[in-house]
Structure 1
């Protein structure tokens, strides 16, 4: 694993993966870094992570755009800093892997970095963080989800502005559009993400995994197909032995007079 990728385990089922400065100018994300990130993501799941928080240790920056020298060398038939397939492996694991993924966005993010964030299930951003897809300024395109995934998050109209002008949206604006789940004070993204991770990790694992699968597969289906797929997955969850135990226990609490508020909902 590259020295700029650190993995911590705040809890047994939660992996915190921290991406540091990989030594490429402009806080960019090299093929070497993203290949190491893909390895770290897969290893975390193999080691039992059910929730992964993706963070950065670079002050003022989360994950930035691809190292342009890598792209130029690949187009010209030369070797890049690492395996470019790491981009696609990382995206696949973030979006379709068995672990729920939370982006703890502590600063500016752009290009391929944004696209890694769009692939996560949940996004928590710090105040003032800026999100941009500058590919049109570079003379390139958003090759790994900066248009297609973003459009599903915030709609075509605003995505068109982002990708056709290359100018950034703030975390606050993105939150209003539905692109991030929460905006928190500077320095609080990781802790807020870990709090959400702990809540999710405490839920029935079979149900969380099933819902993550539902979310991912629904992106590729029309509404009728999606409902059929939801039903097929949910039937397996209802029949799971642990789910049967849970349903019986919860019904007993209702029978004893407890309210939905007391049984299901947390405060704060």
Structure 2
């Protein structure tokens, strides 16, 4: 286990999987510049050491990642001392966009502001039943800054996003799930276990196919349908002729020819 100073830890539960945990209970996991800087460093270290799936978790009861610690944010504006540079926010977003690593947010408690925005930037999100999601910036006389409006509107739609950012009060995990903002809602205390199980499955998927599919998803956010389809076809062409794809197509077809069902080959639906 690697320890990033005293706020973030990096563990490797199995080959290809990283578990990155933030614990800053003194400020309820608000995003201090020091803590977010360590989070960015952990994401980069996990990727550089071969993680193909990273799970972002919290060890602070009742809180996942909360909004920027206002002491740091205010002091940055007025020129007073802070716990760091604030550049960790950008590092985190850059790392979450890397196509070679799939990221899963294991949301075990409340998340808000910039913390929620980091969650929206993850590829997959699992939320515990007690978790609440908020973009309270308007109540702080601020706006969202790293995706809490623009990215969120692409995930849950403009109408629900308008409610969240203009009113500034939180939504429950169940409502966010109903809006398409999280993949699963799970019992309290189980998000990390569920996320690690999912991460283990994904880490066994063919690496180039997984990375290319993430690239297609990222590109789709910025392209019209015609351009997105052309891009998807182009990227398909970069993987279909690889040795891994050719070998895998052959082995799977052999299983079908031997009488196996689609469910047997590809797995049962996830609950």
Question: Structures share a fold, TM > 0.5?
Answer: yes
Query: 1:223 and 1:64 mapped to 2: Cα distance?
Result: 35
Query: 1:26 and 1:17 mapped to 2: Cα distance?
Result: 17
Write the deviation string for residues 42-85 of structure 1: whole angstroms up to 9, x where unpaired.
Answer: 11000000000000000011000101111112212344211212
Query: 1:217 and 1:96 mapped to 2: Cα distance?
Result: 12
Write the deviation string for residues 160-188 of structure 1: whole angstroms up to 9, x where unpaired.
Answer: 00000001000011000100000000000
Query: 2:97 and 2:108 mapped to 1: Cα distance?
Result: 20
Aligned to 1:244: 246
Structure 1 residue 265: deviation in Å? 2.3
Structure 1 residue 229: deviation in Å? 1.2
Aligned to 1:142: 144
Match of 1:3 among 6, 10, 16: 6
Query: 1:232 and 1:261 mapped to 2: Cα distance?
Result: 29
Question: Is 1:57 matched up with 2:41?
Answer: no
Maintained 8 Å contact 1:63/1:113? yes
Aligned to 2:97: 95
Structure 2 counterparts to residues 1-268 of structure 1, below 5 A: 1-21=4-24, 23=26, 25-268=27-270
Structure 1 residue 3: deviation in Å? 1.3
Say which is worse superposed, 25-34 or 63-72, in terms of deviation: 25-34
Query: 2:236 and 2:95 mapped to 1: Cα distance?
Result: 22
5+ long unaligned stretches in structure 1 = none
Query: 1:150 and 1:140 mapped to 2: Cα distance?
Result: 17
Aligned length, in residue pairs:
267
Question: After the TM superposition, which segments of 4 or more aligned residues of structure 1 sit over 4 Å from their partners?
Answer: none
Say which is worse superposed, 73-82 or 154-163, in terms of deviation: 73-82
Maintained 8 Å contact 2:112/2:133? yes
Structure 1 residue 22: deviation in Å? 6.6
Query: 2:241 and 2:82 mapped to 1: Cα distance?
Result: 49
Maintained 8 Å contact 2:99/2:212? no
Query: 1:257 and 1:242 mapped to 2: Cα distance?
Result: 23
Maintained 8 Å contact 2:66/2:114? yes
TM-score of the superposed pair, with normalisation by structure 2: 0.95
5+ long unaligned stretches in structure 2 = none
Q: Secondary structure at the match of 1:96?
A: coil
Query: 2:54 and 2:28 mapped to 1: Cα distance?
Result: 26
Q: Secondary structure at the match of 2:185?
A: strand
